[in-house]
Homo-oligomer: A and B are copies of this chain.
């Protein structure tokens, strides 16, 4: 069922204008796992100079989506149904990295667990944990029809 998944995941990622805007990199994709990073800059900050919570959430959501996508068949597309994120420490550092892992690979629904780390001077610190639900859709237009 899953063959060329890395190619499909990387292709999907490269088409997301928002990832380009964030200078995000897809640093790893495996069966049911995905890692995405974003470097620090003034463009991704909240009012105190940390990474904005929206950037942290974006990374978590996207890593979850692509981890789920890696276990879909070639004619399926991932859609985020919902996600939940707890911010456990200020996101301070040179880099933010989200690591997603599918905890349950259902036929249509993928349940994904994510951890987000801030990296500074080679040390990493957990800044957020998330749980996401990704659905495999046959076509995206189908989802738009209702």
Partner-B contacts on A (CB < 8 A): 12-13, 15-18, 20-21, 41-48, 52-55, 57-59, 61-62, 65, 77, 79-90, 92, 103-104, 106-109, 111, 113, 126, 129-131, 133, 135, 140, 143-144, 146
Cα-based distance from A131 to B84 in the complex (angstroms)? 8
Cα-based distance from A133 to B62 in the complex (angstroms)? 20
Known: A12-B47, A54-B54, A85-B82. A129 touches B143 (CB 8 A): no
Cα-based distance from A18 to B129 in the complex (angstroms)? 21
Among B15, B80, B106, which residue has its beta carbon within 8 angstroms of that of A146? B106
- The answer to whether B126 and A16 have CB atoms under 8 Å apart is no
Known: A18-B46, A131-B129, A144-B92. A81 touches B54 (CB 8 A): no
Cα-based distance from A135 to B109 in the complex (angstroms)? 10
Known: A18-B46, A85-B83. A57 touches B55 (CB 8 A): no
